[in-house]
Amino acid sequence: MKPIIAGNWKMNGLAASVAEVEALIAKFAGSAPDDRDVLICPPATLVANLAAKFSDEAIQFGGQDCHANSSGAHTGDISAEMLADAGAGFVIVGHSERRADHGESDAVVRAKAEAVLRTGLTPIICVGETEAERKAGKALDIVGAQLKGSLPETVDNIVIAYEPVWAIGTGLVPTNDDIAEMHGFIRTKTRKDTRILYGGSVKPGNAVEILAIADVNGALVGGASLKAEDFYPIVMAAQGED
Ligand code: PGA
């Protein structure tokens, strides 16, 4: 399975951030390796610019969210069709920050994932438990329920990202056994060929270890994706497709 190393820039990035992508490509000595998918999800304002500028470089670009409808009276929202038109190949949906900041339910996340599939793009559907839920021994139940509620009907071309909420931006990471347990569990709920990413404080120093865990088919990287010098070693830490 071809791993995906995806950078989630969140609400960071201005026109000058083109320089970070250039620096990343320079580290690849020309073009990103094609035995792994290298993806950057910048803020929506930058997708068209970056996708046009780096169309030959084997780096792909994606959105961080979309509306479930294709167009209409939804001030401030962006549709999957618009992201596709801007050159995106993927769209993150159901990130825990959207679930928390915007009250997105599993049903909303599913509708967004369906919208992404409708445009021919690939949704990266995020799930993950809070610290209290893990401490209460409910992590598998919570993630199981999120998958049941958030996955679209057709799961041919989806990516799932397991991101424990307590590991995002905190420097905390589950044990390798806990990651293996959760990814193995998610595998039982999806297809054999669905890529399951781990996200939450992935850094150059822990990426090799995390990416070697069974059923971890890539990473969703926040803070460490903002600088080429951090993101590059994470991209290279993935075992490329045979
Ligand atoms: P982090 O964020 O790598 O900064 O922990 C991951 C994410 O939220 O996707």
Q: Which atom of ligand 1 is nearest to the CA of 199?
A: 6
Segments forming the whole domain that contains residue 125: 47-191
Ligand 1 centre to CA of 179 (Å) is: 15
Residue pLDDT, tens place only, 149-171: 999 998 899 999 999 999 999 99
Residue 221 lies in a domain: no
In order of 21, 47, 53, the CA distances from 30 in angstroms are 12, 21, 14
Q: How many domains does the chain have?
A: 1
Residue 12 in any domain: the answer is no
Q: What is the pLDDT of residue 241?
A: 85
Residue 7 placed within a domain:
no
> 128-160: string of b/e by CB count within 10 Å (b at 16+)?
bbbeebbeeeebeebbbebbeebbbeebeebbb
pTM listed for this prediction: 0.97
**234 is a domain residue:** no
Q: Is residue 27 part of a domain?
A: no
Listed range (20-24, 172-176, 192-196, 237-241) with the worst mean pLDDT: 237-241
Residue 23 located in a structural domain: no
Ligand 1 neighbours, Cβ below 6 Å, are: 8, 163, 168-169, 199-202, 220-224
Please provide the size of the chain in residues: 242
With respect to residue 75, please indicate whether it lies within any of the assigned structural domains.
yes
43-77 confidence digits (pLDDT tens):
999 999 999 999 888 899 999 999 999 999 999 99
C-alpha 50 – ligand 1 centre gap (Å): 21
CATH classification of the domain holding 121: 3.20.20.70
In a domain, 128, yes or no: yes
Q: Whose CA is nearest to atom 6 of ligand 1?
A: 222
